[in-house]
Amino acid sequence: MERAEETRSQVPRLGAWVEPGQGVRWRVWAPGHQKVELVLYKQDGQPGTPLPLVDEGQGFFSTTLPGEGAGVRYKLRVDGAGPFPDPWSRSQPEGVHGPSEVVVPDFAWTDAGWKGVAPEAHVLYEVHVGTATPEGTFEALIPRLRSFKELGVTTLELLPLASFPGARNWGYDGVDLFAPQATYGGPQGLRRLIDAAHAEGLAVLIDAVYNHFGPDGNYLSCYSPHYFTHRHHTPWGDAVNYDGQGSEVVRQLVLSNVEMWIRDYHADGLRLDAAHAIVDEGKPHLLTEIVERARASAGGRQVVVFAEDDRNDTRLVRSPAQGGLGLDGVWADDFHHQMRRAFAGDNEGYYADYTGSMEDLARTLRQGWFYEGQVSQVHGHPRGTPGKDAEPWRFVHCIQNHDQVGNRAHGERLGADVSPAAFRAMSTLFLLAPYTPLLFMGQEWNASTPFIYFTDHNAELGRLVTEGRRKEFAGFKRFAGSEVPDPQAVETFTRSKLDWSEAERPEHAGVRALYRELLRLRATDASLRERRRGQFDARPLGKDALVLERRGPAGGALHVLLNVRGTLEHRLPSGAELVLWSEAPRFGGASKKEPLRSGVLRLEGPAAAVIRITG
């Protein structure tokens, strides 16, 4: 099914905006309805008399109010029902059930010289705005920006910002794509954060959810039945309609949203949630159009579009000319799963597909992901394509992220399940691999605060969420008899807030020093800056250790040796030099003897060492 460009271009602008000299303009898509009315809200919060919109045909209704501007609050009535918030609203200051607000992008930007981060150079730092600081706002993050830069991070990746129900949520229950969450600081707060980040030399990516809408405050179906389709299904129910009747407007909803984040908020790109659940059987695929729209909206800046996708399919990152979808990168969780299996012993759920053996971990490091077409016992079918078909930087690796932490029953971080020595060893291998690293906030000091699943839904939906969460973990042996925290409880949210003072304590300050040193090496060492296929290798050293070899352009190399347990004794070439080892006292380790003596590296596991090989 080919789509004509002319059809897409016929979708008029929707939502509310200010036209200079004319006032506020509204346009609503409500096909099949006879009457749409605008309800303006007074300063006392009370609704005024409904004003009719003009039927433009093809399901579009519009009106203009002369003399009005930013700050007008309104809702819409459809055939007498409602009033409802505008699903194309740019601001929801009173939450997803309250009146929508007219805004204008009139911010005084100071980042004219900012050109972005090269796609292959990203070091991602995942942030949940509501729990990253005590205040939980965009502006409260600004004083932290310099510390991120000094750490060696290049890019903040903000968990979803689209307005969600209540005051606390991970963000994946968003319903108003264009309206940054009011409790975080709304449109102006986000602009101040991104402008300040650019001033510090940091890029900002926004996690965008286009595969589903949240269940609370989702008024799309009040306007049109065509926003969703029964033809496709996702884990959240009926799929968003990207390829059926009326889909040209639904696609424009997404593409206009992409344009807004990049153009009006100066974001440096997007992370797409669960791209495998964005179902589109037409051509070009919506994912390709998302990338094209992001680049067209960037004004000369470097922008990237990364995606979470569990298919291990390099078609996602191949160019459209090569039969691909054109994304810049994709999350590759096999590395995380192999590492957790090796160090923490996880073996339930999706971990059943992984052994954590040194052979399998080395293979994952060579390829970018483990599954390249083998049958997955969890999925029940072959999974994946050869990783060699994509440049290494296109694979996003992690040893923890919001899902891998928050989807555990108690939201416990990696450091709760492995020793401090194991955490340092895992971090060393992770940060010196040739793939794009993603850190979860607080990881750089091995934060102990959990990140628990939390919500703030209405009472009835909240009860169902709480019951469902507890049933989800009933079958896991490790959680048998434990009480899963109530997602609706305020305490569940407050316990998830980062404790920044922890980073200064001796047991955490050493980890932070290790992360700074590793990221400095990654950015400056010639062997680590070389990230092409053929310039690295990984191989096991027995059943409990492996070596990752990174080769530089002029013949030198760095070897990262990882020992999971027991004692590793490994003879090195003549002239080998110890660059760093994870158990050094300055990183919090207890070993005072350097592990390299007389050409033999001796590592008591868990530990990692970085060795320079000359010649």
Q: Which residues are catalytic?
A: 273, 308
DSSP alpha helix (H) spans, 97-246? 129-132, 138-141, 145-151, 186-199, 220-223
Q: Which residue has the tokens 């700074």?
A: 516
Q: Which residue has the tokens 């903000």?
A: 158
Distance between CA atoms of residues 286 and 272, nearest Å: 12
Distance between CA atoms of residues 225 and 246, nearest Å: 9
Q: Are 294 and 303 in contact (CB under 8 A)?
A: yes
Q: Which long-range contacts (CB under 8 A, 24 or more apart) does 163-167 make?
A: 163/89, 163/92, 163/95, 163/96, 163/217, 164/96, 164/214, 164/217, 165/95, 165/96, 165/97, 165/214, 165/216, 165/217, 165/456, 165/457, 165/458, 166/95, 166/216, 166/455, 166/456, 166/457, 167/456
The length of the chain, given as a count of residues = 615
**Phi and psi at residue 415, to the nearest 5°:** -65, -15
Tokens of 549: 């070899």
Beta-carbon contacts of 133 under 8 Å, excluding residues fewer than 6 positions away, are 140, 141, 144, 497, 498, 500
Q: Are 487 and 454 in contact (CB under 8 A)?
A: yes
Q: Are 242 and 279 in contact (CB under 8 A)?
A: yes
Q: Are 262 and 19 in contact (CB under 8 A)?
A: no
Tokens of 463: 């009860």
Give the CA angle between residues 436, 441, 442 to the nearest 5°.
115
Q: Are 166 and 172 in contact (CB under 8 A)?
A: no
> What are the Cα distances from residue 434, in Å, to 425, 534, 607?
17, 11, 20
Beta strands 36-40; 436-440: pairing state: unpaired
Q: Is 381 helix (H, G, I), strand (E, B) or coil?
A: strand
- Is the bond leading into 284 cis (omega within 30 degrees of zero)? yes
Q: Are 71 and 102 in contact (CB under 8 A)?
A: yes
Distance between CA atoms of residues 182 and 204, nearest Å: 19
Burial of 330 (0-12, 13-18, 19+ CB in 10 A): buried
Q: Are 552 and 527 in contact (CB under 8 A)?
A: yes
Q: Please give the full DSSP string across 478-515, using - where no structure is assigned.
A: GGTT--PPPTT-HHHHHTTS--GGGGGSHHHHHHHHHH
Q: Please give the full DSSP string across 339-374, using - where no structure is assigned.
A: HHHHHT---SGGGGG----HHHHHHHHHHSSS-SSP
